Amino acid sequence: MQNIRNIAIIAHVDHGKTTLVDKIIHATNIFRENQESGELIMDNNDLERERGITILSKNISVTYKDTKINVIDTPGHADFGGEVERVLKMADGVILLVDAFEGPMPQTRFVLQKALELGLRPLVVINKVDKPNCRPDEVHDQVFDLFFNLEATEEQLDFPTFYGSSKQGWFNTSLEQTEDILPLLDGILQYVPAPTVTEGNLQMQITSLDYSSFLGRIAIGKVTRGEIKESQWIGLAQADGKVLKGKVKELYVFEGLGKKKVTEVQAGDICAVVGFDAFQIGDSFVDLENPEPLERTAIDEPTLNMTFSINNSPFFGKDGKYVTSNHLKERLTKELEKNLALRVQQTDDANTFLVFGRGILHLSVLIETMRREGYEMTIGQPQVILREIDGVSCEPYESLVVDVPEEYASRVIDLATQRKGDLHIMETKGEMQHMEFEIPSRGLIGLRSQMLTATAGEAIMAHRFTEYKPFKGAIPGRNNGVLISKTTGPATEYSINKLQDRGKFFVDPGEEIYTGMIIGEQNKPGDLVVNIVEAKQLNNMRAAGKDKDTGVAPKILFSLEECMEYIQADEAIEVTPNFIRMRKKILSEEERKRVERSAKA
């Protein structure tokens, strides 16, 4: 098994991880010379390409100097930590990719900690050394400190370092530019150990799954011990201790960007097994005579929850294909199979489900995926999960890192401290001010948009969950109230223009709206119900052509995440394939007032 290397690439969002994988693919000539390949080859999901982030881990295999290198591209965002925790089990080494200017970021720390705990051998790659203001030597020292703080072993602390630029396609053991990335590939062969193989019966843990309309469910994992063959009868060890008997129908190994059918896979290689349907991630394939399942991966618990319910707005069913509670339940249950960090709980209301996730991004990617598949639903305000620890109510805390030009530093500190954040570190990095806060997770909801507004879009924010600590008291929510529609119909330019002094609008003239829908933000606290459906009355005293140039300001466009951070407890988001609308949970104004009065009583 000296001819196999299994390596995972880990990095913070936007440090160049997927671009590096592209260069490895090109350097090992997977594509024919005349074949069109494009960029971000591994981010093949529309959402990944649009957002520029990796959401799902993926496997490829390249051959270099007669050695097969299985490369695992992992997500860089802590919200997708469940994905990272399970796929690292397949690796024997990791490439830690770090930006030569930004240095190790909070989410780098999160994934690296998981890798070091598993005893994986690290290689450090300092990327983007071609950028102005880069500081590779300083970043190298920061990486060493990070390893030391994470209690790396002496062998892990003695990591090899490579410098270069994924974009320009070169890496070297020094800052001297080379023509290609071959020094890095040589480093993988030299420093990453071959898989350790022990004698004994079959052991293979399922760490990922795939689906094919022809083959059904496909189990993916690394054969840790023994061998697995086509047509062999083996056992599937499940979480409850049961061992199911089954036959391997087909067997595949990864080759290039695809899979190759084989008859046998030896220990140390990563493979895909067809023939079992009842497996879950974490189950093990074992020998039928002497079943010895591998220990299941412990996944960190979710920190946020939201309600998912059927769309009950007046526009219900106009846009989506899947609109019933059964559709919603089936889709969420299906998501649980592969999204290990997710939890789903039925509520007292048959049409509503409580969905638990790692963070706003984790849940918004699920909602966005469902929306594109044709689902309609109503989403409630994200709530942090509180825990009782030693009789004390505790909430999740996060480490927040903000890099911002010096003139905006005071605004950032002000915003973070308003939301119960404590400033722990403040230092200068080139022209930027680097600040680290400890802040309750609740304080982060809605903070990004406020911070970008206060810093003219210059703030770079990153955060990761650290621990549960005692509840820190009330955090101020949204400062201003909202404008709510009084009637249903198309919004008119005449009415919007008349009400522009009351606030900013989220709808354009001609857009269909309904009673109780949130159509704008008021200039001051408190909600205001307005009629923007009213058209100008035309008679012989008024000229029809006078309103042509009314100068209505363009609407404010919110992304799904911004809507999730904007709404309050009595509000919801209506999500359909083509629209994202904010609304009051109770659409009728009279009903809202009645509920408010009874709550005060």
- Annotated binding residues for GTP, as ranges? 14-19, 127-130
Tell me if residue 523 falls in helix, strand or coil: coil
DSSP state of 524: S
Q: Are strands 432-440 and 422-429 parallel, antiparallel or unpaired?
A: antiparallel
Q: Report angle CA 472, 476, 482 to the nearest 5 degrees.
A: 150
> Do residues 524 and 552 make contact, with C-beta atoms less than 8 angstroms apart?
no
Distance from first CA to last CA of the chain, Å, rounded? Answer: 74
Do 235 and 294 touch, CB atoms closer than 8 A? no
Closest C-alpha to 60, from 36, 24, 19: 24
From the list 533, 526, 538, the residue with the least C-alpha distance to 499 is 533
Which residues are known binding-site members? 14-19, 127-130
> What tokens were used for 474?
């009330």
Q: Is 599 exposed, middle or buried (0-12, 13-18, 19+ CB in 10 A)?
A: exposed
Q: Which residues of 421-433 are buried (b: 16+ CB within 10 A; e: fewer)?
A: bebeeeeeeeebb
The whole-angstrom separation of Cα 240 and Cα 251 is: 26
| 448, burial (CB in 10 Å: exposed 0-12, middle 13-18, buried 19+) | middle
Distances in Å between the Cα of 500 and the Cα atoms of 195, 487, 509, 521, 551 are: 66, 18, 13, 10, 10
Q: How far is CA 558 from the centre of its chain?
A: 19
Residue 282 · residue 296 · CB < 8 Å:
yes
Q: What is the DSSP letter of 79?
A: G
Dist. CA 437–CA 455, nearest whole Å? 17
Gap between the Cα atoms of 267 and 269, Å rounded: 6
Alpha-carbon gap, residue 57 to 46, rounded angstroms: 15
Give the 3-state DSSP-derived string for 317-363, with helices as H, strands as E and coil as C: CCCCCECCHHHHHHHHHHHHHHCCCCEEEECCCCCEEEEEECCHHHH
* Residue 5 backbone dihedrals phi, psi, to 5 degrees: -130, 130
Point out which residues pair with 468 in neighbouring strands: 396
Q: How far apart are CA 66 and CA 4, in angstroms?
A: 9
Distances (CA, A) of 170 to 28, 143, 189, 503, 562: 14, 21, 17, 52, 38
